[in-house]
Amino acid sequence: MFTLMYLQEVFKSYNIPVDYFTIGFILWNYGCMGMICIHWKGPLRLQQAYLIMMSALMALVFIKYLPEWTVWTVLAVLSIWDLVAVLCPKGPLRILVETAQERNEPIFPALIYSSAMLYPYVLMTEPPQDNSGKTSDASSHGGTSHGESAQSTAELIPKTGSSQTAASKYSKEAKPQKSSGQRFAPNRGRKSPTSGQYGALEQSPHVDNSRSVEAARVLNQDETRRPRAASNSRPRQQVVEERGIKLGLGDFIFYSVLVGKASSYGDWNTTIACYVAILIGLAFTLMLLAVWRKALPALPFSIFAGIVFYFATREIITPFTSALSIRQLVI
Amino acid sequence: MDLENLNGAEKLLLCKKYFHLGLACLPLVWIVNFIWFFKYAFKVENFPQQDEIKKYVIGSAIGSIFWILILSIWVTVFQIFRIESPEIMDYITFVFPIGYK
């Protein structure tokens, strides 16, 4: 639906008439492909692309239709909630994570509800055995474990059903929900019995976590077939286990909202500052993740950093630089 | 979802499924099928189901070309006739162009 609105706006601004048939056809294709890619199997890049598009569209909708202060308060409150929900032992998100881990289910399927699907966006990190570089491989896990976990998660639905802010991470419309803003290293210890493919695999060299979030996601596929990896001698499971860090889609949406809001003031300084702040927050969170190896909320650091930078830049830097350039001072 | 994980038979199955899916007026699925399996159908030489995959890939390619043709023809027709017979076309217009100010 968001796509529809977006397309409508685009076409209006270009003054191109489009008929219902064409639009219907395009939408039908796009939607079906999206469903196929995300819920079932599909090429990895395509899945990532779809997730990104959906997140971006949602963020757009938020930016456009929410009043000013609501956005900021929502972001701030969400970060706090995220922090609380994941780290406190009673938090719903933590329960989800731990339940998934206890049952030894392969890839965090606990967020896949029977009514709506979860679209976790998966960022994989090689558990660096020797090498500490944080390269990530992106792979996805879609609804592969949908069937088996459907009943196991039924009990979790009422718990999480209550958290319903507009930006909530749980399903709002008929659309699939996004996973909460947490990420966790699907513990290697847990997974190694099931997948048997972990090992000192080499990282893909060109992946660098300091790249933009978007770019960082587009990474190599499963690392299972790096020929030079020593662990390839281990017997392969039938279903390739994917591992690594999973980043909830909700995270992306909020990052996008933050940056989008920042950019809507038309000031490049602010936008870039926010972007950088988010990246820094992300890198920091990843570091912490490597240290703790538990589910961590991905939101708080980045969002706090972003908000702080945003306001600071707006209030301070901009007049500063304008004054500088007006008076032609070079520092 | 990595194609290298699957062995030949599974690839064939996947290709087939994508092909059948595309039959529901979904050229995009066919295009994706074509691109995705292209390497396996033509560039890699050595597995037994390759002929079948080739079949499906070529089928998807033809199918997508067909749909693209149809779509282009329809759009052309629509754009040309929109001006000539405005009533019918107004009915199916989704976005009306605003005149220039």
For B2-57, the pLDDT digits (tens) are 555 566 667 777 777 777 777 777 777 777 777 777 777 776 666 666 677 777 78
Checking if the pLDDT of A40 tops 50, the result is yes
A226: region left, alpha or beta (phi > 0 left; psi from -120 to 50 alpha): beta
**Residue A11 to chain B, least CA–CA distance (Å):** 7
pLDDT digits (tens, 9 = 90+) for B74-96: 888 877 776 666 655 555 555 55
Nearest to A140 among B1, B36, B95 (CB): B1
Number of domains in chain B: 1
Largest distance between two CA atoms of chain A? 70
Mean pLDDT, range A276-288, rounded to an integer = 69
Max avg pLDDT among A154-158, A247-251, A304-308: A304-308
* Closest to A301 in 3D by CA, of A273, A275, A277: A277
Nearest to B94 among A20, A36, A44 (CB): A20
Quick check: is B50 in a domain?
yes
A116: region left, alpha or beta (phi > 0 left; psi from -120 to 50 alpha): beta
Quick check: is B96 in a domain?
no
Q: How confident is the model at residue A115 (pLDDT cuts 50, 70, 90)?
A: very low
Nearest CA in chain A to B88: A19
Quick check: is B17 in a domain?
yes
- A contacts of B72 (beta carbons < 8 Å): none
pLDDT digits (tens, 9 = 90+) for A265-274: 656 666 676 6
If one compares A267 and A21, the residue with the highest pLDDT of the two is A21
Max avg pLDDT among A73-87, A138-152, B15-29: B15-29
Domain that holds residue B7: 3-91
Quick check: is B98 in a domain?
no
Quick check: is B85 in a domain?
yes
Task: Assign A123 to helix, strand or coil.
Answer: strand
Q: Which of B1, B44, B81 to mutate to test the interface with A (most CBs of A within 10 A)?
A: B1
**Residue A220 to chain B, least CA–CA distance (Å):** 10
CB pair distance less than 8 Å for B24 and A32: yes
pLDDT of A270: 64
Average pLDDT, chain A: 54
Angstrom distance (rounded) from CA A5 to CA A51? 17
Checking if the pLDDT of A34 tops 70, the result is yes
**Residue B46 to chain A, least CA–CA distance (Å):** 18
Quick check: is B100 in a domain?
no
Q: Which of A5-9, A18-22, A80-84, A324-328 has the lowest mean pLDDT?
A: A5-9
Q: What single-letter amino acid sits at A124?
A: M
pLDDT of A95: 61
Q: Does B57 contact A at CB distance below 8 Å?
A: no
Angstrom distance (rounded) from CA A44 to CA A29? 18
CB pair distance less than 8 Å for B78 and A12: no
Checking if the pLDDT of A155 tops 70, the result is no
Helices (H), chain A: 2-14, 20-39, 44-65, 68-87, 92-102, 146-150, 156-160, 188-195, 213-217, 249-263, 268-292, 299-312, 318-327
Quick check: is B60 in a domain?
yes
Quick check: is B101 in a domain?
no
Active site amino acids of A: 82, 251
